[in-house]
Structure 1
Amino acid sequence: MSATATWVSPSTRPELIDELVSGVDRYNPANGGILEDYLYHQIRSQEYDCLANLAILKLYQFNPDLYNGDVVINILIKALTAAPMPDFNLCLALLGERRPYPESDDDEPDPLPSLLPYLTALSELLHQCRFPEFWKLYKSEPLAPLRENYTIECLGFDDSVREVVVRAVRAAFTKIGKQRLSNYLDLDGEDFVSFVEDVDWSLEDDVITIPPNPDNRIEATVVHENIQFPRA
């Protein structure tokens, strides 16, 4: 199955969710709870379904009274790890300009406005392949609420970010220095060695070798052009 087909219809999507996402029922506010439960299943199981999560944001767009800031943050966290796919920006587009949503007097403060600029910055760093800066920001004091209240509940979040790193390194390198890759992955020691072995890369003399793939192989291409000039 192609990457696009997997994005549109992941193999882990339940039949009920597939029916909701594919039909007009995705606009039925009564189904919001079902889609939110499915999001939290993704959080707990390391699965991911962007279209189902976008359907939640669309419901919030049409029905502001359904809005849940915690749900939106979890959707954005899952979208972060889809880089370089544009999932995060798609989510932002559906949030639109209607933030912040109205709150009643006895509601807790919406956590989204304070975390959204940081989540956006994290997304930009991943798309720019500035991985050491990503880890530095992610582990900074201002993002303690994100780590302690959200990503701690998201199974395998750090490893999912490292998969983003692996995709980028695979596409750009045939060899990379150990220290450089260690900074990219935010791993060292035995954890680093184990990770390199798990992705089938080889480590020798502080240099990691990445096996050839269609993205990191440079092949010369000869272009023949047949240009005909009109006769006088």
Structure 2
Amino acid sequence: MAESWISPPTRQPLIEDLVSGVDRYNPSNVGILEDYLYHQIRSQEYDCLANLAILKLYQFNPELYNPDVVINILIKALTTSPLPDFNLSISLLDERSINSSLEEPDPVPALLPTLKRLNDLLYKCRFPAFWELYQSAELEHLRDNYTVECVGFEDSVREVAIRAVKATFTRISAERLASYLDLNGTDLAAFVQKKGWKMEAGVIEIPPNPDNQIEATVVQENIKLSQITKLIAHGASN
């Protein structure tokens, strides 16, 4: 997993050269990296290090700052929870970029608290609360102007919930899973079937995996007699 995070298999050779070489700090390459971000938005691919390189270029070159790019990077990073991608991205947003002079008002400061709340809910596995906030009238602007452009955003969020479910449950009620995924009825049944899981009498069985199986662990200590005598002698001397 760490290897695919550092170098995703979908990363193009040109982007690999930019991300891994000294050219990652060349401001003339920011357009290439931004185009690559929009490719990720359209294709459901994801490349954290390439996106962080954009934010780093914005730090060094505030005149390049594009708030829509920043928001799209944060939206993509939301779907990687519990990985630290979102917080890594936030850490590269300094005052220079956020307060950069723009022809129109910068939407980032207004959206940032909301995006942080969404990330916090996902990180804490509060999935019903996430969907309630995300579907609220308060976030209509975010949905209509940003996440609608991010292909598969809601399905990617559901995969965050599925990772948590697979690591926690062996059986889960359909009602509870529905609240985690914001799916009901035939949509939920189709999702469960696509996963290859069994649902019977309103209960879904989660296939065994290393995270949801309890196994006894036997720990054996090998202590030599010479070590014990040294310990006793040390205690006696004190």
Bin for the TM-score computed over the shorter chain: over 0.9
Decide which of 168, 171, 196 is 1:175's aligned counterpart.
171
| CA deviation vs aligned residue, 1:62-104 (integer Å, no higher than 9, x gap) | 0000001100000000000011111000001111344532224
Partner amino acid, structure 2, of 1:151: T
Q: Percent identity?
A: 66
**2: CA distance between counterparts of 1:220 and 1:111?**
52
| CA deviation vs aligned residue, 1:1-46 (integer Å, no higher than 9, x gap) | xx01100111111111110001111101100111000000000000
**2: CA distance between counterparts of 1:87 and 1:65?**
24
Partner of 2:26: 28
Decide which of 138, 150, 170 is 1:154's aligned counterpart.
150
**2: CA distance between counterparts of 1:183 and 1:62?**
43
**Structure 2 residue 120 is matched with structure 1 residue 139:** no
1:141 CA drift (Å): 1.4
**2: CA distance between counterparts of 1:127 and 1:22?**
29
Partner of 1:41: 39
Query: Secondary structure of the equivalent of 2:172?
Result: strand
Partner amino acid, structure 2, of 1:186: D
Partner of 1:87: 85
| Higher share in helix | 2
Query: Secondary structure of the equivalent of 2:105?
Result: coil
**2: CA distance between counterparts of 1:64 and 1:10?**
28
Query: Secondary structure of the equivalent of 1:53?
Result: helix
Aligned length: 228
Partner amino acid, structure 2, of 1:164: V
1:109 CA drift (Å): 0.9
Partner amino acid, structure 1, of 2:114: Y
Runs of 4+ in 1 over 4 A off after TM superposition: none
- Contact in 2 for aligned 1:67/1:101 (Cα 8 Å): no
**1: CA distance between counterparts of 2:11 and 2:218?**
45
**Counterparts of residues 149-228 of structure 1 (less than 5 Å):** 149-227=145-223, 228=225
Partner of 2:236: none
Unpaired stretches in structure 1, ≥5 consecutive residues: none
Q: Supply the RMSD in Å over aligned alpha carbons.
A: 1.3
**2: CA distance between counterparts of 1:47 and 1:10?**
9
**Which has the larger Rg?**
2
- Contact in 2 for aligned 1:44/1:155 (Cα 8 Å): yes
Partner of 2:54: 56
Unpaired stretches in structure 2, ≥5 consecutive residues: 234-238
Partner of 2:71: 73
